[in-house]
């Protein structure tokens, strides 16, 4: 099966994206993923800025597709506010010039990526299908390596192969530069797999994104490969958050068009009437299910909830507007996990205060709303909404900024979607005006 038989990069921007994504596993094996993401972000962002500046003077296949969409401007403004909040927080707490410079470099490798990749996706002529195909090729790598990864804990292979010398560049921790076969779950002492992610729960959400991308693939063989690889990542990571995303983020966007159907509202009314009779029993069942869900990894749940409570109390009492400037070591009660980690929103409040919280909330909510409205009108919105939902889900269990280096294909798609909506406002768009969801077969809506 030749990956390049029907889809090939048409310009340098597409080539950089395609080749970087296709080489995900080789880059992981040398511990270079954490380096590749930020480098690609600044290269693409610089190329997009150059395209806007030069206009028609730049080569034709790199000319800007149009002005910067408002939602992408919001991402750029929000991430700039993050940097300002970081500086103010460091100044308030007297963290010194050395720590401020170090944290600013961390911003350039983290929060800045949430603006650079959507900016590049919105300005540069990058086709969706190139990114989707490249993601499916990553799935082929995953399936090819899966037998070795799966048998590793049962034949005595080590958990970690090595830590790359690239860790000297600096990053959140050595796990970002380490190569693993698997890890042992300390709660159950059973193996968990993290694939090319720094830890298993994040791998599960990357698996969800893998499935979301694959469902948009037109070639049925590549689609099957991508979906199979993503499902394996979700299941073998043994993450509760991944199981939620497997259902909600893949099927949810394809059910949104039902909001425009009269019979769906009638069905909702009937369900609401039934709830008046069965509501109490159903509510108790839901509570029991949530308790069982949390109890599946009780230690993890306890640590996360305690971290969030400490972060919230210290934010309100000590640094309401601009936060503490950086994460801080936690007590033994939370197994010395840093306060401000394991949750994007509580982490933002603790580290960057209410200013940083709003700086992310506004562009993410705006992007999600745009995707939601468009998915109700056209299949074009399914993938962006899936991505937005996955980011929101991820934000409640992880810190998005330190994982943006792996989320970059999804961020480029969000920028591309904003550009598509901009073009449709300027010109009549067949996908929204000429084709309604009523004309789309049910099987196609679900990517089958």
Q: Is residue 152 part of a domain?
A: yes
Nearest to 193 by CA among 244, 245, 229: 229
Q: Is residue 271 part of a domain?
A: no
160 DSSP β-pair partners: 180
Query: What is the pLDDT tens value at each position of the chain, 448 positions in all?
Result: 444 456 889 899 999 999 999 999 999 999 999 999 999 999 999 999 999 999 899 999 899 888 999 999 999 999 999 999 999 999 988 888 999 999 999 999 999 999 999 999 999 999 999 999 999 999 999 999 999 999 999 998 999 989 989 888 877 888 899 999 999 887 778 899 999 999 899 999 999 999 999 999 999 999 999 999 999 999 999 888 889 999 999 998 988 887 666 545 455 555 555 555 555 555 555 445 445 544 545 456 777 788 888 888 888 888 888 888 888 777 766 666 788 777 889 889 989 999 999 999 999 999 999 999 999 989 999 999 999 999 999 998 888 999 999 999 999 999 999 999 987 766 556 443 333 333 444 344 333 3
pLDDT of residue 280: 53
pLDDT of residue 273: 54
What's the structural domain count of the chain?
Answer: 1
Q: Is residue 113 part of a domain?
A: yes
pLDDT of residue 111: 95
In this structure, the number of other CB atoms found within 10 A of the CB of residue 275 comes to 12
Q: Is residue 309 part of a domain?
A: no
Residue 307 · residue 346 · CB < 8 Å: yes
Q: Is residue 295 part of a domain?
A: no
Distance of CA 441 to the CA centre of its chain: 29
Q: Is residue 57 part of a domain?
A: yes
pLDDT of residue 261: 60
Q: Provide the domain limits for residue 109.
A: 12-262+376-445
Q: Is residue 287 part of a domain?
A: no
Distance of CA 342 to the CA centre of its chain: 15
Q: What is the 3-state secondary structure (H, E, C) of the chain?
A: CCCCCCCCCCCHHHHHHHHHHHCHHHHHHCCCHHHHHHHHHHHHHHHHHHHHHHHHHCCHHHCCCCCCCHHHHHHHHHHHHHHHHHHHHHHHCCCHHHHHHHHHHHHHHCCCHHHHHHHHHHHCCCCHHHHHHHHHHHHHHHHHHHHHHHHHHHCCCCCEEEECHHHHHCCCCHHHHEEECCEECCCCCCEECCCCCCCHHHHHHHHHHHHHHHCCCCCHHHHHHHHHHHHHHHHHHCCHHHHHHHHHHHHHHHHHHHHHCHHHHHHHHHHHHHHHHHHHHHHHHHHHHHHHHHHCCHHHHHHHHHHHHHHHHHHHHHCCCCCCCCCECCCHHHCCCCECCCCHHHHHHHHHHHHHHHHHHHHHHHHHHHHHHHHHHCHHHHHHHHHHHHHHHHHCCCCHHHHHHHHHHHHHHHHHHHHHHHHHHHCCCHHHHHCCHHHCCHHHHCCC
pLDDT of residue 274: 54
Residue with tokens 């040398």: 30
């Amino acid at each position: 099966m030749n990956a390049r038989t029907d889809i090939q990069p048409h310009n340098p921007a597409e080539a950089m994206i395609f080749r970087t994504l296709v080489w995900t596993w080789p880059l992981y094996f040398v511990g270079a993923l954490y380096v590749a993401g930020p480098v690609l972000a600044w290269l693409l962002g610089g190329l997009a800025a150059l395209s806007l500046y030069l206009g028609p003077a730049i080569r034709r296949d790199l000319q800007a597709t149009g002005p910067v969409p408002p939602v992408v401007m919001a991402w750029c403004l929000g991430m700039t506010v993050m940097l300002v909040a970081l500086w103010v927080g460091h100044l308030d707490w007297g963290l010194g010039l050395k720590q401020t410079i170090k944290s600013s470099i961390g911003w350039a490798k983290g929060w800045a990526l949430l603006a650079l990749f959507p900016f590049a996706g919105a300005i540069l002529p990058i086709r969706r299908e190139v990114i989707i195909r490249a993601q499916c090729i990553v799935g082929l790598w995953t399936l090819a390596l899966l037998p070795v990864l799966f048998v590793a804990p049962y034949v005595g292979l080590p958990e970690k192969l090595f830590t790359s010398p690239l860790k000297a560049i600096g990053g959140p921790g050595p796990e970002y530069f380490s190569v693993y076969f698997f890890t042992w779950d300390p709660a159950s002492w059973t193996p968990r797999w993290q694939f090319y992610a720094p830890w298993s729960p994040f791998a599960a959400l990357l698996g969800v994104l893998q499935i979301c991308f694959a469902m948009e693939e037109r070639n049925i063989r590549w689609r099957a490969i991508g979906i199979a690889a993503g499902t394996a990542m979700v299941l073998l990571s043994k993450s509760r958050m991944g199981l939620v995303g497997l259902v909600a983020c893949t099927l949810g966007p394809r059910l949104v068009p039902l909001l425009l159907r009269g019979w769906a509202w009638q069905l909702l009314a009937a369900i609401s009437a039934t709830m008046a009779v069965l509501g109490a029993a159903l509510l108790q069942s839901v509570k029991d299910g949530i308790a069982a869900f949390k109890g599946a990894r009780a230690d993890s749940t306890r640590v996360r909830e305690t971290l969030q409570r400490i972060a919230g109390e210290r934010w309100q009492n000590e640094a309401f507007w601009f936060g503490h400037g950086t994460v801080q070591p936690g007590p033994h009660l939370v197994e010395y996990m840093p306060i401000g980690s394991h949750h994007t929103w509580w982490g933002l409040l603790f580290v960057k205060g209410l200013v940083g919280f709003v700086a992310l909330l506004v562009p993410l909510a705006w992007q999600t709303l745009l995707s939601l409205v468009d998915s109700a009108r056209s299949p074009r919105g399914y993938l962006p909404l899936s991505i937005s939902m996955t980011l929101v889900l991820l934000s409640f269990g992880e810190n998005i900024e330190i994982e943006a280096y792996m989320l970059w294909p999804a961020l480029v798609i969000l920028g591309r979607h904003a550009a598509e909506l901009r073009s449709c406002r300027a010109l009549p768009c067949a996908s929204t005006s000429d084709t309604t969801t009523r004309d789309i077969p049910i099987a196609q809506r679900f990517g089958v």
